[in-house]
Structure 1
Amino acid sequence: MTHLARTSKLRTAKLLACAICCLLAGATAAFPQSAPSPAAGTQAAPPPPPTPVPFDDALLRAANDLFSKANLPAGNEKIELVVDPLIDGISGAQSTATRLMQDRIVALVSKSYPRFEVRPFSTEALTRAPVVLIGTFTAINNAGAADGPRDAYRICLALADLRSKSIVSKGVARAKPEGIDVTPTPAYADTPVWAADPATSQYIKTCQGTKLGDPIDPVYVERIGTSSLISDAILEYDDKRYREALAFYRTALKMTGGDQLRVRSGIYLANSRLNRRDDATDAFGNLVDYSLGAKKLSVRFLFKPGSTQFVDDPQISAPYPMWLSQIATRAGRRNSCINIVGHTSKTGPPLVNERLSVLRAQYIKDLLQSSSPALADKLKATGVGSREVLIGTGRDDASDAIDRRVDFNISEC
């Protein structure tokens, strides 16, 4: 979509969002219930896990299954298709890989499935209740071992029909990890805070936790118009149009379900890029309040390898003093205690990682106490090493930065 088209969309978003709610509300009151499971009995051994194949082959297999087996009305009538951007199934981030997947799926539809007409993911298109493509791309252990190496990627694709309010097709495959670039796109790579945001979790659940014929979660349907605006905000930010991104983020914040972590983070990032320091400081403080209200704040502080000192790159670490000041100020307003938990990636011996994570948490604790001495009795520093990695690939780059996060867990004193 062009920049002018996305800007025009912002002006009409509120009216069209209302139309979407009216159009889609009718069928969300009741959904068919899944049939009960058969009586438990002797069960055969589970089948072996699928064999991962090269990325291109896996994506083609999943996409062809998705479109060739779609449970849609017979006939030649054109079917509008929009893509709610694909994301990482753990972090919720868009990445180089998920953008590539999306581009290739759209090209495949244009070439091989002419009944589908791909439309921009817009409030205007959503008023016509199209079919929505959603998808996740997740690093996994192929054998299913919880602590095993992430040696494959699981592709999950789904078609959600907004007319029937149901999942009308699924496509899954597993890809080998070689040659896959999962670097987050700029809006996600730059975000200072991570959390299992409810809106993102709902998207992942709608893709991964459903089967053919299941109803679409009504909350996802209710908020999809807001999601289209957030998508435009992300695209504007990635294109370095920070003023336009800020406008989209601010509009989305006021809409149904728009008070999300990625929206508050986007408002901070756009203001920061526009050198609006006071606005950026306030926006980061609001982001901290949002996370503390959810009892957990996870911040991406980047340290030198094997060290408790921040990286020397001022482009990365320059805002850290402001972040710490805002965390201290906002936490000080609450009658709560904070357990500061350090994390590391899987690189290195586990015992060394455990010790390093504790030292990093203690370093953050000392900085917070220096900023707000009144917090001294409310802070505790611990570390878990690499035992709670999220991405778990051990690449030690931007793709798994959240594995090296610092958590602030809130509890009553």
Structure 2
Amino acid sequence: MQMRHHAFSLPLLSSLLLGIGATFTLAGCSTRPVVAEALPFDRAILAAADALLEQAQPLPGFLGGTDRRVVALDPTLDADSGQQTSATQQLDRVIGERVQQARQFELVPFEAASLASAQYLIVGSMARAQGAHRLDLAMLDVKSGTVLAQSSVQARLEVADMKPINYYRDSPILMKDETVEGYVRTSNTRAGSKADASYLGRIAAAAAINDAAKLYNSGRYREALVEYRGLLATPTGNQIRVLNGVYLSSAKLGRTAEAEDAFGRLVAYGLAQKSLSVKFLFNPGSTEFWADPRLTSAYGMWLRQIARQASSVKVCMDIVGHTSSTGPEEVNDNLSTRRASFIKHKLSAESAELAGRTRTVGMGSRHNLVGSGTDDVVDAPDRRVDFAIVDCKA
């Protein structure tokens, strides 16, 4: 491929050279650039952003013209938990800065009001892989749905701040459904291929959801609730992030009946998807719920709705307990089993028929999503209880 000089080729080179000994390959415009050796997190996100934009330079219309291409960034996600975190926000800031420094691009917010003007979208995810975080970024053409550029870079684990932002911190469940999974798949789709269909069909909804989440994160709960309610009335609005938003906003406003109805719909949605992950917080080393009622006062309602919805659809479930990574493996295995049994007992008290249609499994810390071992809000997804739909025995 013929080399050309671009406005930000020197920043690109400098960011790549920050990781001494790292290897960077770009065999052709449709080839996925990969930095093989794990870089410090701040250097890795620079390398990922610059590699993506450098790869986009030979696209039609970039060379020899004066028009700037309009780009929007759909906020990046932690692929394992489906959350936005301090680390993904840091990644977003760097991507935004690099796009703004490039003369070929104009960055617009990922909002419903400005999305119509965007020609390209950037998506990105972070996933734990082989003792590091893999950062995957992709740029796609909005009109065709084709991925135009893609980069992958390895980042060291120790620096990334995995603290979730408010909406995800407050969420009772993990935010992973087909829409979120489609976003993550798009972030590591090779250039020249179509972006994931489940993501492409919900881009407009994603922008509106992002608008509502901004309202929630800034404490504007009434306005957020109005936005989330409106989204539920749209064809693409019946998804986990919207249902969760209605629940969270209603709960913050003290609308207990609406909050319980929304949580019931969340549970029904998860059961229909054959998987539901709920973040029950326990006292360390115990099967008793966390002592702070501000965090656990809704647990009785959660259990009531899980029991009610599971009984209504006559499903059989594995109740799977998880723990954080602190403590010996054998202790965690036993603790996770006892916590799963505790939840089964609570559900059976709500609906006796569930006793014969549920079984307990302890996974210890083997399926950690965060792995920080901090035993606080950061690794709350590691201390979850999963409800997995299984075939009922004859």
Aligned length: 355
Out of 269, 288, 294, the residue aligned to residue 248 of structure 2 is 269
What corresponds to 2:96 in structure 1? Answer: 106
Q: Gaps spanning 5+ residues in structure 2: where?
A: 1-33
TM alignment of 1:315-394, pairs within 5 A: 315-394=294-373
Contact 1:358 1:381 in 2 (8 A): yes
Aligned to 1:57: 43
From 304, 321, 330, the counterpart of 2:283: 304
Can you give the 5+ residue segments of structure 1 that lack an aligned partner in the other structure? Answer: 1-47, 142-150
User: Deviations for 1:236-256, whole angstroms, at most 9, x for unmatched residues?
Assistant: 111011111112212222323
1:86-112 Cα deviation digits (max 9, x unpaired): 1112111111111122122212222x3
- The CA distance in 1 between the partners of 2:199 and 2:179, in whole Å, is 8
Q: Does the 8 A contact of 1:339 with 1:408 survive in 2?
A: yes
Paired amino acid for 2:77? I
> TM-score, length-normalised on structure 2?
0.85
Amino acid at match of 1:102: D
Shift of 1:346: 2.3
Q: Find the counterpart in structure 2 of residue 189 from structure 1.
A: 169
Which residue in the other structure is 1:400 paired with?
379
> Which of 67, 74, 92 does residue 82 from structure 2 map onto?
92
* Aligned equivalents of 1:180, 1:220: Cα separation in 2: 26
Match of 1:44 in 2: none
For 1:289 and 1:118, locate their aligned partners in 2 and report how far apart those are by CA, in whole Å. 38
* Residue aligning to 2:19: none
Amino acid at match of 1:60: L
Structure 2 match to 1:77: 67
CA distance in 2, matches of 1:396, 1:152: 21
Which of the numbers 204, 222, 226 marks the counterpart of 2:201? 222
1:138 aligns with 2:127: yes
Task: Please name the residue that 2:182 is paired with.
Answer: 202
Residue 128 of structure 1, aligned match among 117, 123, 126:
117
Deviation of 1:66 after TM superposition, in Å, equals 1.2
Partner SS for 2:39:
coil
CA distance in 2, matches of 1:67, 1:294: 36
Paired with 2:87 and 2:281, the residues of 1 have a C-alpha distance of 23
Kept in 2, the 8 Å contact 1:338–1:411? The answer is: yes
The answer to whether the 8 A contact 2:125-2:187 is kept is: yes
What's the CA shift string for 1:243-293, capped at 9, x where partnerless? 111122122223232211111111101100000011111111111111112
Matched letter for residue 53 of structure 1: L
User: Does the C-alpha gap of structure 1 residues 307 and 195 become closer, same or farther in structure 2, counting only changes over 3 Å?
Assistant: same
% same residue: 41
Higher relative contact order (CA 8 A, sep 6+): 1
SS at match of 2:201: helix
Moved more, 378-387 or 290-299: 378-387
Matched, 1:160 2:146: no
Specify the SS of the correspondent of 1:76: coil
Q: Which amino acid aligns with 2:51?
A: D
For the aligned residue pairs, the C-alpha RMSD in angstroms reads: 1.9
Shift of residue 164, structure 1, vs aligned partner = 4.1
Aligned pair partner of 1:289 in 245, 252, 268? 268
Q: CA deviation at 1:412?
A: 4.1
Native 8 Å contact 2:112 2:211 kept in 1 = no
SS class of match (1:307): coil
Matches of 2:331 and 2:249 in 1, distance apart? 38
**Structure 1 residue 235, shift from structure 2 partner:** 0.9
Q: Contact 1:350–1:386 at 8 Å: present in 2 too? A: yes
Match of 2:388 in 1: 409
What one-letter code is carried by the residue in structure 2 that aligns with 1:322? M
Contact 1:335–1:412 (8 Å) recurs in 2? no
SS in 2 for 1:398: coil
